Amino acid sequence: MESSQSIIHAKELLFLLGIILATGMTSGFVARMLKVPDVVVFLLAGMALGGAGLGVIDVKVDSTLNQLLLIFGSCYILFDGGASVRLSVLKTVWPTLLIISTIGVLISAFITAYAAQYFLGLPFIFALLLGAVIASTDPATLVPIFKQVNIRAKVAQTVMSESAFNDAMGAILTFAVLSIAMGNAGDEFSISASLLDLLKQSLFGIAGGAILGYLAALFIAHEKYSFLAEYAPVVTIMSVAAAYLSIDNLHASGFMAVFVFGLMLGNKELFGFKMEQQEEAKLEDFILTTSLIMRIFIFVLLGSQVSFALLNQYLYPALGVVAVFILVARPIVVFTCALPDRRAKWTFEELLFMCWTRETGVIPGALAGMLVGLKVPHSDVIASVTFMAILITILLQATTTKWLAGKLSLLEA
């Protein structure tokens, strides 16, 4: 009886995965026809087929399947983004990247908190918790967009890198505020402890990703030691999982580790490593296909889990918070953090584009779901605003990225 029940569950799971992939293929075709980023159509399709729509896709937020797809999918997309970044480009913008990924997250969180306190009447500590949850940008959204829209390298790679590096800061800030809100950390922040935690997460993430990235490049692209060259696609999957799990188990940023791993592998030529052309093409095709599959799973599932009842309950106050978040907080962050960086020589058009491009997605959604699961006070409000931010930034900002880049003369041939 147990065996037959397990077979039934296996068939149900296979059917679900097939439905999601079929939805992704259809949505990708529609996205090409409409000339919009595919993540937008994936999200809409998920909303139509989810529990609030037709009910075809019903995967719980706290289910093992959902967490597996979200974690590994985000990791692989982040790895793909790191592999697309050129270190020669980042050398000129690292001060901006450092400041916007740390101080920028704090600025965004506090401005959003004041808006949440005003529009939603939340106690300030819970308003700040909301600000911390949605303060980080989303690599799972941004990386695919910049893969599809050819924008000036300096801008695209800065925004992609920001989305990887600010996850650690956003998570630290969220947990610090949560600890205070639940009465576990006294009456005020321990600035020194928070800074040390951020430094530890960053250094462990960077070091772990760099070591694994170097070893992967050594074993698949070294002239003498590339005995795993023909297994390069398998190496990427194994190493992405290993980078995330090993660093996360050290209570550091696993997402930063997989990004740096991709960065090392994508810039392997700088370390004297070079793959044969045929093997390089095979690896690139594999990464492209795997990233697409992960993108389909993440955004179809994310759309299927949107609660329209919750969104409607706090609709207008949430819209007010998100409007401040997009139109006030982000521009202040960009101009405050990037304008003083004379080395990067940012133009007004580049800064304006960065003000508009800051999609919210998987990581904030996961944090909001965690708060709901912990039954944190006002977590229903926080979840509502978070999903509103996800929907608006993806549906509005992602669809206008190419148009705005064209208007600002930032598109490259």
- Per-position DSSP letters for 38-91, written without gaps between them: HHHHHHHHHHHHSTTTT-S----TTSHHHHHHHHHHHHHHHHHHHHH--HHHHT
Q: Which of 96, 181, 151 is closest to 405 using CA atoms?
A: 151
Please tell me the total count of domains within the chain.
1
Q: What percent of the chain has pLDDT over 70?
A: 95
* Letter string b/e over residues 158-194, b meaning 16 or more CB atoms within 10 A of that residue's CB: bbbbbbbbbbbbbbbbbbbbbebbeeebeeeeeeeee
At 104 the pLDDT is: 92
353 in a structural domain: yes
Q: Indicate the pTM of the whole model.
A: 0.78
54 in a structural domain: no
Find which of 77-91, 163-177, 186-200, 348-362 is predicted with most confidence, using mean pLDDT: 348-362
Q: What is the Cα 128 distance to its own chain's centre?
A: 21
179 in a structural domain: yes
d(CA 260, CA 131): 27
Across 168-197, average pLDDT: 68
Q: Indicate whether 187 pLDDT > 50.
A: no
Residue 122: Cβ-neighbour burial (10 angstroms; 0-12, 13-18, 19+): buried
Cβ atoms within 10 Å of 267's Cβ, excluding its own: 19
24 in a structural domain: no
pLDDT tens-digit readout, 273-315: 888 888 888 888 888 888 889 888 888 887 887 778 777 888 8
What does the mean pLDDT of the chain come to? 83
185 band by pLDDT with thresholds 50, 70 and 90 = very low
Residue 275, Ramachandran bin (φ over 0: left; ψ between -120 and 50: alpha; else beta): beta
pLDDT tens-digit readout, 198-254: 677 778 888 988 999 899 888 888 777 778 878 888 888 998 999 889 888 887 778
d(CA 158, CA 94): 8
The residues facing 187 across adjacent strands are 185
202 in a structural domain: yes
12 in a structural domain: no
Q: Indicate whether 112 pLDDT > 90.
A: yes
d(CA 222, CA 224): 6
47 in a structural domain: no
pLDDT tens-digit readout, 314-358: 889 999 999 999 999 999 999 999 988 888 889 999 999 999 988
275 in a structural domain: yes
What is the CATH classification number for the domain harbouring 272? 1.20.1530.20
At 21 the pLDDT is: 92
Domain, as residue range, for 223:
65-407
d(CA 87, CA 105): 23
- What residue type is 307 in one-letter code? S
